[in-house]
Amino acid sequence: MNSSSLRTGAIVATAAILVVLYASVFTVGQMQQALVLRFGGIRAVLNQTGTDKPGLYFKIPFVENLVMFDKRVLDLDLPVQTLLTADRQILEVDAFARFRIVDPLKFYQSVNNIARANTLLASFTNSSLRNVLARSTRDAIVRTQRADLMNTIQGDVNRQAKDLGVEIVDLRMTRVDLPAQNSSAVYKRMTTERNREAADIRANGDQIAATIKAKADRDVTVLLSEANQTSETLRGQGDADKNRILAEAYGKDADFFSFYRSMQAYENGLKASDTRMVISPNSDFFRYFNDPQGRAPTTSARGTGTPGRNPSVDTGTTGSTGGAGR
């Protein structure tokens, strides 16, 4: 009986020792930070950034408690906000943040847990978003200064989050858009503006085209005028040369020149046509018909049959008789 009691007592003692040993030993992983509390007071901070190392640690069982915090970067998903920009544009902004616990002691004393930290950080971020973006225009938020604005907001939130023992490592806007009820009106306004711009461009194009056409017409008129002037000048020079040559030829042999001109007159005046000419046979026009030398015909008594006299001459082509003359 005594031996059995001893064995039972030994087993109980061993179990108690094992329980106490198990309760006094704990490990802190690479991705963890730990606070050791003794009767509610802070005894130690383990694996804080820049201090200590992960591994095996001991605590007084039933006297000291352990509080673990994540050392990794944590996500903070922010609700969509509707805000008014400096140029009176209503925008819906969807953003997110990433943070980590850099001072577990201050974090425990200020917020105690991740859920409350998320609530406070969301409040800080939303407030900073509203204050900063309300002083900016839509184009600056969407395109030109987006990165600078996010850096400003992140710095502002970090100043407030420092009292919580956390650090914002990244803060970004995932979507910036107009409210659904304004999209149709904005689309119509943009369409109207684009149509107006197109009309202005088209009007400018028509004006430029008219200017180019008027200049081309003017250039054509100037070129034609210059060409006509040049042609008239050349024609006048040709006529002058022609007259000079004819004058020189006439001066060399006046009789031949008179004969040549008379032959041209016969060719042009005696063509087959409906034209009637009433000319005296003794006219100077027919002098080369009466005498190849071109001498003037001699007058004689009527009816003697002198060669220079022909009382009835028809120069037409239809058989009609022309007038007779002396």
Domains held by the chain: number: 4
Q: Comparing 105 with 204, which gets the higher pLDDT? A: 204
| Rounded Cα distance, 253 and 1, in Å | 183
Residue 48 is predicted with a pLDDT of: 65
| Rounded Cα distance, 126 and 120, in Å | 10
In which domain, by residue range, is 16 found? 9-70
Query: Is residue 144 helix, strand or coil?
Result: helix
Phi, psi of 177 (to 5 degrees): -145, 165
| Rounded Cα distance, 44 and 34, in Å | 8
Both 25 and 83 in a single domain?
A: no
Q: What is the mean pLDDT of the segment spanning 16-38? A: 72
Q: What is the mean pLDDT of the segment spanning 284-307? A: 56
Per-residue model confidence as pLDDT tens digits over 226-248: 999 999 999 999 988 888 887 77
Both 57 and 118 in a single domain?
A: no
Q: Which of 73-82, 261-270, 286-295 has the lowest mean pLDDT?
A: 286-295
Beta carbons of 284 and 276 less than 8 angstroms apart: no
Q: Which of 86-90, 135-139, 312-316 has the lowest mean pLDDT?
A: 312-316
pLDDT at 41 over 90: no
Both 148 and 52 in a single domain?
A: no
Joined tokens for residue 223: 């070129």
pTM: 0.50
Average pLDDT, the chain: 77
Both 30 and 111 in a single domain?
A: no
Beta carbons of 3 and 71 less than 8 angstroms apart: no
Both 47 and 64 in a single domain?
A: yes
pLDDT at 313 over 50: no
| Rounded Cα distance, 81 and 171, in Å | 15
- Report if residue 26 sits inside a domain: yes
pLDDT band at 323 (very low <50, low <70, confident <90, very high): very low
Residue 187 is predicted with a pLDDT of: 76
Both 105 and 14 in a single domain?
A: no
Both 95 and 19 in a single domain?
A: no
Residue 314 is predicted with a pLDDT of: 44
All residues at 6 or more sequence positions from 108 whose CB lies less than 8 Å from its CB, including other chains:
35, 42, 67, 69, 165
Helix boundaries (H) for the chain: 2-24, 104-110, 114-133, 138-139, 146-161, 180-252, 254-269, 287-290
Residue 136 is predicted with a pLDDT of: 85
Both 132 and 57 in a single domain?
A: no
- Report if residue 88 sits inside a domain: yes
Both 153 and 171 in a single domain?
A: yes
